[in-house]
Each structure stands twice: as C-alpha cells, then as structure tokens.
Amino acid sequence: MIELKDIHKTFTRKGQTIEALKGVNLRVDKGDIFGVIGYSGAGKSTLIRMVNYLERPTKGRVFVEGEALDQFSPVQLRKTKKKIGMIFQHFNLLESKTVYDNIAIPLVLLKQDKKSIRERVTELLQFIGLADKADSYPKELSGGQKQRVGIARALASNPSILLCDEATSALDPQTTKSILDLLKKINEEYHITILMITHEMAVIQQICNKVAVMEQGEIIEQGEVLEVFGNPQHPTTESFVRTVIQTSVPESVLQSLSPEGAGRLFKLKFAGGNASEPIIDSLIRKYNVSVNILFANMSQIQNTTLGMMIVQLGGEDRDIFRAVEFLGSRGVEIGELQDLQEFQNRRKDPVIAESHKDRVIKEVTAV
C-alpha cells in the first residue's frame, strides 16, 4: 500500500522556483494497478519518485506499507527500497553486464550466495520468456526484450510494489501490449501492487483499475477507471478519455441531421451489466416510439463494456418521456441534445462552435 499525503515539491533552478507538486494526495491499495496520467510537465515523474524517495517531498509525508519514509534512517530506507521495484522508460540496464548479471544485481547487492542467485535468476528468465538470452548483452536485445529484463531485475528481490516510469512510452504498440500483459500477469500471480505513470490513455484502459489525472502539479481527478472513463469531470480528463473512446458526435452524423427530421435527439451512456441487456429492443417493443441510432460506440475497459449512443426518438412527447424514464430506470445515463436548429446555427460561428462542439448536450435527468 502506498499513501501520499499533501505532497509538495519545489525545485530551484537558476534562482527560479518551480512548484512540481502542489499538495498531492494519493492512495494506492494493495493489489491495485494504479495509473497516473498527465501531459509532460504535469509532475507525474516527480510524483512516482516520491514513493521510493528518489526525490524527497518539500512538504508532506509518504507512507509505504503503512510506514512513513521520513522517519527512516538511511539504512532502513535502503531496506525499504529493496521492497519497491522500479522500471524505466529507457530501461536503464547496465550495458557492461549480461542479461543474467543485470537481473542478478539486486541479489548481489543483498549479498545472496551464488546458488540462490542462480535459482532466482533462472526462474525470472523463464517468467519473462528470455531463458535463451541469459548470456546476451542489452545491446543485442530489442526494446521489448530490454524492458522484460528491466522487469525481471525489478522483481528479483521479491518486491511488494512495482513502480513503472513511462515503461512503455519507448515501445511500439505491439510490444507495449505484450509488456502490459506481462505487468498484468505480475499483478495477478505475484500480487504485486503496481503504480504506473504514462501519457497514454490506452495503457490505463488496458490494465489499470484506478486512475489519477494530473495537471500542473495537482491531481485534478481520480477514481475507478470505469468511473472516470464513463464520466470524466475535468476537460483535461475528457480529452484523455477521447483519445481512446469517441465521446463526441462525428461530423458526418451532424451533417446528415436535418432540422425537419422527426424526433428528438438523445445521448445515451451505459456501462457494465446493462451494456449486454437488450435495452433498445425493449424500448421499441414496450413504448410507442421510433428509434433511429445515429451513432454508437462500445469500448472495453477492464472486463466491462462502456457504451455511448446517439439516438433519435420519434413519437408523442408523452411516449418519449416514458421511454426516457424507462432508460433511466435501467441505469442508462441519458441526456437530450439541444434544439437542432440552434445547435446548427452555433456551429456556423467558428468561435462558438469550437467551444460548444462537445457541450451541446443539455443534461436532463429522467424526471
């Protein structure tokens, strides 16, 4: 378990003071795969370095497995660091040592005997699938293989926490996926808590169960991944979510809408269980409304489906109202799109159009 309490960090460079972290609170529970996302310069690198005290907070306290790091002597601190593995964007392997010796380093530092080092390193080489590369040098490996070695090295001393500093940012999408799968496997098989920082929402989407969004040294939003993806509150979060899930109505759909078109426009959002229920089917059968699906998008997050739909409902206002009520009762989040005419007029004004592009939805709770 990791807990950061009101962490502040200021750097002074050339007489200028930079506030990298401004009162960050974060709690990572045992077994979590916790992702911190933010643009470069948001302070996420500084944040992850607080956990193993590579950087010390100017103010605030860091707790690892319930113990405050600031009360530790240098000796105790080194001991704690051995319980926290870390992998890096640029792998940071020793070019002068073989894959075997790189993985063995943490154990050599622990002064373990040769035999138990051999056993552990052999086991780890099997685990990362590089048993045949034991005598190779890092220079002879691909990026993905290097990161696997980095992971094995981080796991050598049996840590309870793994810190990932942009671990996949230097890798191609295919390799990224295989590394993320490996991290997930580590989390499940070894019950290691993972804290990772990244600027790619796809990484969060693929393996994290919790996420925190950082901007200018502050956490602007955090929670369960499904929650944050389904209902982003902050514009920055929204733009991150949009990189993996399309949440705005495509231009082509807007073009095809005519003011004379019958029916009212609604945006539906649903998550988890109700995504697999035949809601639309029930809607048509039970209520006297016509349903025209203009846009639909389904995304897989963890083991849950997150869906978004734009539908045009036609019929009597009374029927539409009851239909909306029905959808609300099934856990579907529903909002009506603003009056089409007004909406299209706004789009003609480029300034307003830009600021209203994604905010044309007037939230109406199913009364």
Contact residues for another protein, defined by CB under 8 A:
52, 54, 77-82, 84, 86, 88, 90, 92, 94-97, 105-106, 108-109, 137, 139, 157, 163
Residue 52 φ then ψ, to 5°: -110, 20
CB of 158 or CB of 300, closer to another protein: 158
Q: What is the nearest approach in angstroms of another protein to the Cβ of residue 25?
A: 23
DSSP-derived letter for residue 326 is: H
- Of 37, 77, 326, 17, residue with least CA distance to 206: 37
- Which residue is listed with tokens 């480029």? 350
Nearer to another protein, 147 or 299 (CB): 147
CA 231, CA 221: separation in Å to the nearest integer? Answer: 11
Closest CA to 151 of 137, 135, 168: 168
Give the integer Cα–Cα distance in Å for 264 and 261. Answer: 9
Smallest distance from the beta carbon of 331 to another protein, in angstroms? 44
CB atoms within 10 A of CB 355: 11
By beta-carbon proximity to another protein, the closer residue of 139 and 285 is 139
Shortest Cβ distance from residue 188 to another protein (Å)?
24
Closest distance of CB 250 from another protein, Å: 43
DSSP state of 140: G
CB of 69 to another protein, least distance (A): 12
Cα(357)–Cα(247) distance, integer angstroms: 11
3-class SS of residue 13: strand
Based on CB atoms, which residue is closest to another protein, 51 or 313? 51
Pairing of strands 193-198, 16-28: unpaired
| Beta carbons of 159 and 83 less than 8 angstroms apart | yes
Nearer Cβ to another protein, position 9 or 81?
A: 81
Say how far apart CA 176 and CA 349 lie, in whole Å.
42
**In terms of CB distance, is 78 or 362 closer to another protein?**
78
Q: Give the shortest CB-16-to-another protein separation in angstroms.
A: 17
Nearer to another protein, 163 or 271 (CB): 163
The CB density around residue 115, as the number of other CB atoms within 10 Å, is: 8
- The least distance separating another protein from the CB of residue 105, rounded to whole angstroms, comes to 6
